[in-house]
Amino acid sequence: MTMETNNRNHTISPSSLSASSTQHGLLLIVIPDFEAPLGDTCSSINQALGLVDRLTIVVSVLDPNSPTPTFNNNATNGSAKKRGSGASFHSVQKVLSALYVSFTKQAVALGRPLAELDIVIRESCGYDVGAGGVGDEIPFDVFLGLPPAIKELEELNERRLQNGAKKLAIRTLDEAKAHATGETHTSLVEAIDSTLPHTKVQEGQYGDVALGGTFDHLHAGHKILLSMTAWISSHRVVCGVTDDAMLKTKKFKEFMEPLDKRIHDVERFLRIFKRGLVYEVVPISDMYGPTITDDKLEALTVSKETLKGGGMVNQERANRNLPPLTIEVINVISPTQTQVDEISLKISSTFIRQYLSEQASRNNSNKSVEPPKPTATSEAAH
C-alpha cells in the first residue's frame, strides 16, 4: 500500500514521480541473509525502472544479533565489515547476478537496454551510501523501497541532515505488486553457471588480487566480475584494461569507448562498490599486464572463458621465479556458451556496440528521408 505525502518522512505518491522528472534513485533492498528468496525484488526493480533513469541498489542485511529488526547505520565501522564477511562467495555472487540479470531483462523489455545499474552491499562497501557525508559523492534524487525498508530510509534522511545534505523524497513501492510476481530466488538466477564448482573463498581472504579485461561500455557482467574481485580483496585490486591497439578486430569497433573512459568507468565503479582498498587500474598491451611482474599479488579472478589465460599467467610467473596465483573463477554465464538464455546475450559489450550501430543507422536513415524545407516561393504560394 502506497503511503501519502507527509512532512515527516517525505514519502510521495506514485503519480508524482516519472522517469523524466527523476534521474537517479537509490533502491534499498533488505534481506535477512544472502540465501534468502528475492521474489519481491523483481517487482521492486520493475517499479523503480518506471520511475528513474538510473538506479543504484543498496543491499542491506538485517543484523542477526539485534533482538528487533535493525540495520547497520554506520557502514564504516569494523563490526559492519565483520558482519558482512559471514556470507559465502557463492551466495553473494548469486544475489548480485540475480539482481543484475533481472534489471537487464526488465530494462530491455522496456526498450531501455542502456539503462544503468550499480549494486552496493551495505555491510561491505565501507561508507554510508546515500547519507551525503564524507566519501559519499553519489548524487541521488529519490529513495525507493518496499514498506520494510522505509524506516531505514527515513533514518538515512536524518543522517543526510546531520551531514549538511538535504532530505530526499522517499517513494514507497507497492508491496502487493511485489507479492503478485511470485518469482523465487532461483528463477531469477540465470547468470550462474552451475557446471563450475563452488569456491570456498571468503570476503577479504586475499590481500592483493588482479583481473583484466576490455571493460568496454561497462555492463552487468563486468560489474559482477569487478564486485567479486573487490569482495575477496582486503588491500589492493590491480585491474588491467586492454589498450586500443589490442582491440582492432573487435566487432563494431567504431563504437568502442576510448581507453581513458574505460579506465575511468572501472575506477568509478570499484570506488562505489567498496572503499578502503587500493585500486590500480592500468592499461595493458598484452594478455599478462602486471600479473607476471607484481610479486605482491596473491590471486587472479577470471571468467570461465578466460580460465586458460589464468594458467598461462602462472606458467609465465614460474618462468620468472614468481609464486603462482590462486585462480578464482567468477562463474557468470558468458554470451559465447552454448546453453545461455537470450538475455545473457545482451549482457555483453558486443551487443551494446551493435545496438549503438543500429541506432546510428536508423538515425541516419531518418535524416535521409526528411522532406525538403519549403522555399520562399512555395511558402508565398500558401
Rg for the chain (alpha carbons), in Å? 23
* Angstrom distance (rounded) from CA 121 to CA 227: 10
Tell me the residue type at 37.
P
Check the CA dihedral 239-328-117-56 and report its sign.
negative
Low pLDDT (below 50) residues in the chain: 1-21, 66-85, 181-191, 334-343, 345, 369, 371-382
Residue keyed to cell 529513495: 143
Residues 154-179 have pLDDT tens digits of 999 999 999 999 999 999 998 776 55
Chain centroid to CA 55: 9
Domains of the chain: 11-188 (3.40.309), 206-330 (3.40.50.620)
Residue 76's pLDDT is what?
A: 45
- Residues 16, 103: Cα–Cα separation, whole Å: 23
Give me the residue label for grid cell 545482451: 346
Answer yes or no: are the C-beta atoms of 29 and 58 closer than 8 Å: yes
**Could you read off the pLDDT of 70-124 as tens digits, one per residue?**
444 444 443 333 344 478 888 898 899 889 888 888 888 888 888 999 999 999 9
Q: What is the pLDDT of residue 318?
A: 97
Q: Output the pLDDT for position 68.
A: 38
Q: What was the pLDDT predicted at 54?
A: 95
Burial of 275 (0-12, 13-18, 19+ CB in 10 A): middle
pLDDT at 135: 76
